[in-house]
Chain A
């Protein structure tokens, strides 16, 4: 086993042949390499166990650049753990997790992953409650994050109009001076999507976006997510089949920590394995 690990270390994808490619490299090390038609995220053989319980079990999955992907699965299927692995909150026991061709996510800190271009919207809306919607987006803005810079910086007109654009995109322009704690549940969810957008992410992870929303809000959210795909790659984790059917092109079903089925909604729904898991034996 250790011989295999050594071999893997020697042939790590983010390092191997680097010395030979000096000068001809298309992408500097540490920079995202994911052109159109390529994959943006590579998860391979990921295993995570908590006290012997395998939350993820040899999970292998790829996300294409610009794709809108939905992930479904019953409770405990490992959806949230998968998000945690991608964002660096949880480290996998084994397996590799690459962002583009070059960035090994298992070696980056949470902050580095966020700056590299992966944004995550949490299941529970966690906006900054005492700040206005505008200030929430300002804080989330893709800008230098050092203390001294923050002390002396003044918002440029460009940044201001960018924030307002994003506010319009998520439908909060009229409420921009409202304190975020006073926004409705749905508005908070959108605000948080807006905050993730302010980081100019390549990959957007969205955790249960429509939980607790009214029908109109669900519809708006669906449109919003669809409008984001293409410019960004979007991964949505959701329970609601109807919602997924209305937005998704490709669906991945997780079960007991690994991929059970993958395809269009119709393919997946007619898959006997999926039916068995969802309806029971």
Chain B
């Protein structure tokens, strides 16, 4: 059995390997971007840096979904909503940072409000000129929505496909709401034209590298957090809820509380991913709430492999890399490829890529075991997670 404390999660081998690879890659890209001049063959462009940062945001989002889907069995088809809400909270802060450098030069109101002839800032925009307030909202708004939504859904014992459908409805409803100009979030144009973050210009290479590093740190912290959660007794209860919910209830666990807990934590992580995503891509609009995004997210996790955490990260990066390449070559075929991928993974790779690799690894190891090196001690077996 793994050491179930937070320190144990920080020092276990999977987490250390994960952090090693992640920070290694981040450091490499950073150095290649900063040291070599733009005309050098070894130079990594700011575009690539930001692209990688974007992938890591998606990876964090996939990690969040894996926690609820892979471990707790809640297939949320609306996790994009929490991502987008975190993104909007960050976008509101960035909007306020523009100040009087906007097209209309109004120091108080963002451009789209001037355009709509609004005279003063809506109440819910107050406070977003402070970074600490925005940071709080980034975690609080998605968390609170997930808490209220989950409380209603899990208490009424809505499960399975019904839950998936209402999460889908949630994100769709939010999309329609955010499309409206009257709501005060920029309508279908969303929030854009950001200038700087904490005083650093978003256009400069150094800021882009800084954002990449921040995203990598966030992803690593979230990974350790999830390892800690899944390695604790809470993680084992959550797994039990996934496999035999009524039995878990009978043993005396309030399964709805556990589901709600995991769902809320997951939503907060998704919100954090959204907040890191927005300054890197430079825009947030209601399209991020689109149900399609949430479904794509499910495909990433399925492709990578559920209930391993690193599988979700690998899946998110691979599928998005595929998307970048594919949409460059033949953009109209991407959705077909994505759909085909999902079907193929469901039919042929129920454990995802990670499952496939570990199966082959197991086969190789067995061949070695025959020659005498047995590592089948109970401790080694108990380490599966």
Contacts and interface: CB of A to CB of B under 8 A. Distances in A.
Interface of A: 87, 110-111, 114-115, 120, 122, 126-132, 134-135, 138-140, 145-147, 150-155, 176-177, 195, 199
B234 A151 contact: yes
Given A177-B382, A199-B252, A138 B244 contact: no
Contacts of A140: 251
A129 B251 contact: no
B249 interface: yes
Contacts of A199: 251-252
Interface stretch (B120-128, B196-204, B235-243, B349-357): B235-243
A145 B254 CA distance: 8
B236 A131 contact: yes
Contact of A128 (B234, B239, B249, B378): B239
A38 to B, nearest CB: 25
27 contacts: A87-B250, A110-B249, A111-B249, A114-B251, A122-B247, A126-B244, A126-B246, A127-B247, A128-B239, A129-B243, A130-B243, A131-B240, A138-B236, A139-B237, A139-B251, A146-B254, A146-B257, A147-B234, A147-B258, A147-B261, A150-B233, A151-B232, A153-B233, A154-B4, A154-B5, A177-B381, A199-B251
Interface centre among B247, B248, B251 (most CB of A within 10 A): B251
Residues of B contacting A: mostly: helix
B222 to A, nearest CB: 16
Interface residues of B, number: 28
A138 B237 CA distance: 10
A139 B382 contact: no
Contacts of B257: 146-147
B147 interface: no
A146 B234 CA distance: 9
A135 B378 CA distance: 13
A192 B254 CA distance: 20
B147 to A, nearest CB: 13
A138 B252 contact: no
A228 B251 CA distance: 19
B219 to A, nearest CB: 21
B243 A128 contact: yes
B244 A145 contact: no
Nearest to B247: A126
A122 B247 CA distance: 9
A135 B381 contact: no
A134 B382 CA distance: 10
Given A115-B252, A139-B240, A150 B247 contact: no
A150 B250 contact: no
A170 to B, nearest CB: 16
A151 B246 CA distance: 21
B253 interface: yes
